[in-house]
Amino acid sequence: MPDCYVVIGNPVAHSKSPWIHAQFARQLRQDIEYARIEAPLDGFARTVDAFRAAGGRGANVTLPFKEQAFVYCRDAVSLRARVAGVVNTLIFEGGGPASEIRGDNTDGVGLLRDITVNLGRAIMGQRVLLMGAGGAAQGVLGPLLGAGPQCLVIANRSAAKARSLAQRHGAAAGGGYDELGGAQFDLLINATSAGLADEAPPLPPSAFAPGALGYDMVYGRDTPFLAMARAAGAEARDGGGMLVEQAAESFFLWRGLRPDTAPVLAALRQP
């Protein structure tokens, strides 16, 4: 019987993860199954318990369960996931109800690889603006700081949330969009869910430095933030590359093999 993996979320029907992992498995000749499970909003732990009891070997966790996945990891949590306080990858060592439960977070490294390897952009020495202070922002903040930006500013609609996130991580600053003044950034990352409501964070267009990259972590739609970046003369990129790269890192954690992401990303982007 093949080893079984799932992506757990609510909603999860739109998830591209099963398709991405099927491409990786074919590329590396791994006999695995990868499915979607929509957990009830009040039933994350019991859904994962049941999957583990049935022999499941690992899970990707998506909205809105990443904080609960962190709590679920009774045996071990990687340093990068502990810093983030959110887990997107569960590893069930041994399989079955008595399996060891380990947690990791591959979102940050996925974002970093997409920006630095796929898009060929440096983070070190750059002025970085991170928009949002929810789970998505928390997941990538530590790795972004670790990449050595010249400065990293967190902006959020609720300024207090940005301030406390910045303080917790020793980031340069955090506050509301109206506190940005005339500051300019080389890399502007949208980690808010504004795009899902067809809105953009209230960012002054002057925030895009000449040659800037506007990156929206949302994948699969041309968000108002991306339109704003293009209108300001910046390069605009969606989160497709991050999606594939974080999946590749999860695949590596489970299977010990690193997929070649380039052909999968190219196929994902095909209309």
Q: Which residues bind ligand ATR (CB under 6 A)?
A: 63, 132-137, 156-158, 161, 192-194, 197, 199, 201
Cβ-based nearer residue to ligand ATR, 67 or 235:
67
Query: Would you say 136 or 248 has its CB closer to ligand ATR?
Result: 136
User: Least CB distance from residue 143 to ligand ATR, whole Å?
Assistant: 16
Alpha helices in the chain (DSSP H): 17-27, 44-53, 66-72, 79-84, 107-113, 135-146, 159-169, 224-231, 240-255, 261-268
Name 26's Cβ contacts closer than 8 Å, sequence gap at least 6.
Answer: none
Quote the least distance from Cβ 118 to ligand ATR, whole Å.
22
Cβ distance to ligand ATR smaller for residue 97 or 202: 202
Between 158 and 167, CB nearer to ligand ATR: 158
Contact 232, 212 (CB under 8 A): yes
| CB closer to ligand ATR, 112 vs 203 | 203
Phi-psi region of 29 (alpha: psi -120 to 50; beta: other; left: phi over 0): left
Annotated active-site residue in 21, 52, 57, 66: 66
118: which DSSP letter?
I
Which residue in the shown chain puts its C-beta closest to ligand ATR? 134
Strand partners, 131: 155, 190
Burial class (CB in 10 A: 0-12, 13-18, 19+), 131: buried
Q: How far is the CB of 184 from ligand ATR (least distance, A)?
A: 20
Q: Are the C-beta atoms of residues 126 and 115 closer than 8 Å to each other?
A: no
Q: How far is the CB of 66 from ligand ATR (least distance, A)?
A: 7
CB neighbour list of residue 34: distance below 8 Å, 6 or more residues apart = 4, 5, 6, 7, 17, 18, 21, 22, 25
Q: How far is the CB of 200 from ligand ATR (least distance, A)?
A: 7
Give the torsion through C-alpha atoms of 189, 195, 196, 197, to 10 deg.
140
- Identify whether 66 is a catalytic site residue: yes
Which residues have a catalytic role annotated? 66
